[in-house]
Structure 1
Amino acid sequence: MAALTTGRPQGVAAGRTIASACGIGFFPWAPGTAASAVALLVGAALLRYGGHGVLALAAVIAAVGGVLAIRAARANDDPGWVVIDEVAGQWITLLGLAHLSLIGVAAAFALFRLLDITKPGPIGWADRVNSAFGIMGDDVIAGAAGAVILWALLLWKPMLFG
């Protein structure tokens, strides 16, 4: 019963678990890329078996849950172990695909990572906002930009992604 009344440490631990995408953020090499790769596989499965609506809902839940988890974990200045933002951003990028293909999934991964690392324009602006919204915001914007780029490429060359 005492554990129920001391919610603060449990809230921090739960926040760290979610913010680190169930521990992926503690991967010793390139945790953001590792989280994006795992998110890519899960997102592809969600898209394949649930469709765009299920993937979009999962991305929204990850983004909103990420803000709450980052606040609960008391994470500041975007520590490397916070990777729930990469999960949400990668899922948003996948929404730009009309259907799954190996080339499309690879392009979604490469585009999202490129935008997340280089942080052009509004992605960089969001990255400089020192809050949970900023930590999540740059990846959400990068995901949206990646989805738009994929969508535009599909309109330009429909057969590009098989």
Structure 2
Amino acid sequence: MMKVIATFGFVGHLRPAPGTWGSAAAVVLAVAAYELGAWWLVPAGFVLATLAGFIAVPRVIAGSANKDPSEIVIDEVTGQWLAMCFTVIPLARHGVSILDAWPAWLAPFLLFRLFDIWKPWLVGRADRRGDAAGVMLDDLWAGLFAGIVSMILAGVYHGVVEPML
């Protein structure tokens, strides 16, 4: 069961780029939940996946020389859902379809992947821990940064660019 959680239902075994597959699966599920009227499943899923990840990841990597195997993608899922919360919650408050506001899912996806791969500042520091907590924490930091930058970009667009159009 721990491997099922850590690989997010075996999505982590998809190749190439299992982390991107994990992030994409998270976005698809978030968009589907939102469009079905269950936007609250995104923040709830984030919390549950984070807790499950902090339980499953240490058990899966215990005794392994590789402390961050590529098939573990629950960390990408948690980070991606955290980033999505920054757009899903405001869209739900305004009753806007996430499909009509497509940058609301695309920007967090692209920014999360950027921060997860680039590993700036706290993302890189967490990744360098080399332990199970670091596996989870680097993606949580990447998700937080992606969410914040998504909100900044939305603010610039809606506050500066859109009024000029």
Smaller-chain TM-score bracket: 0.7 to 0.9
Deviation of 1:54 (Å): 2.8
1:117 maps to amino acid = I
The CA RMSD measured in Å over matched residues stands at 1.8
In the other structure, the counterpart of 2:82 is: 92
In the other structure, the counterpart of 1:50 is: 38
In the other structure, the counterpart of 1:104 is: 104
Q: Distance in 2 between matches of 1:74 and 1:149?
A: 32
TM-score (norm 1): 0.83
Q: Distance in 1 between matches of 2:4 and 2:112?
A: 23
- Asked whether the equivalents of residues 123 and 138 of structure 2 are also in contact (C-alpha less than 8 Å), the reply is yes
Corresponding residue SS for 2:9? coil
In the other structure, the counterpart of 2:56 is: 69
1:79 maps to amino acid = P
Q: Distance in 1 between matches of 2:33 and 2:147?
A: 16
User: Is 1:30 aligned to residue 20 of structure 2?
Assistant: no
Deviation of 1:67 (Å): 1.2
Deviation of 1:134 (Å): 0.5
In the other structure, the counterpart of 2:151 is: 151
Measured against aligned partners, the alpha-carbon deviations of 1:76-132 in whole angstroms (never above 9, x if no partner) come to 521101000011111111112132222221111111100100000000000111222
2:58 maps to amino acid = R
Q: Distance in 2 between matches of 1:73 and 1:119?
A: 23
Corresponding residue SS for 1:123? helix
Corresponding residue SS for 1:157? helix
Corresponding residue SS for 1:50? coil
TM-score (norm 2): 0.82
Corresponding residue SS for 1:61? helix
In the other structure, the counterpart of 2:123 is: 123
Paired-residue identity, %: 33
In the other structure, the counterpart of 1:41 is: 28
Deviation of 1:153 (Å): 1.7
1:77 maps to amino acid = K
In the other structure, the counterpart of 2:4 is: 17
Deviation of 1:59 (Å): 0.4
**What are structure 2's unaligned runs of at least 5 residues?**
92-97
1:109 maps to amino acid = F
Corresponding residue SS for 1:158? helix
In the other structure, the counterpart of 1:59 is: 46
Q: Distance in 2 between matches of 1:19 and 1:118?
A: 22
- Asked whether the equivalents of residues 96 and 149 of structure 1 are also in contact (C-alpha less than 8 Å), the reply is no
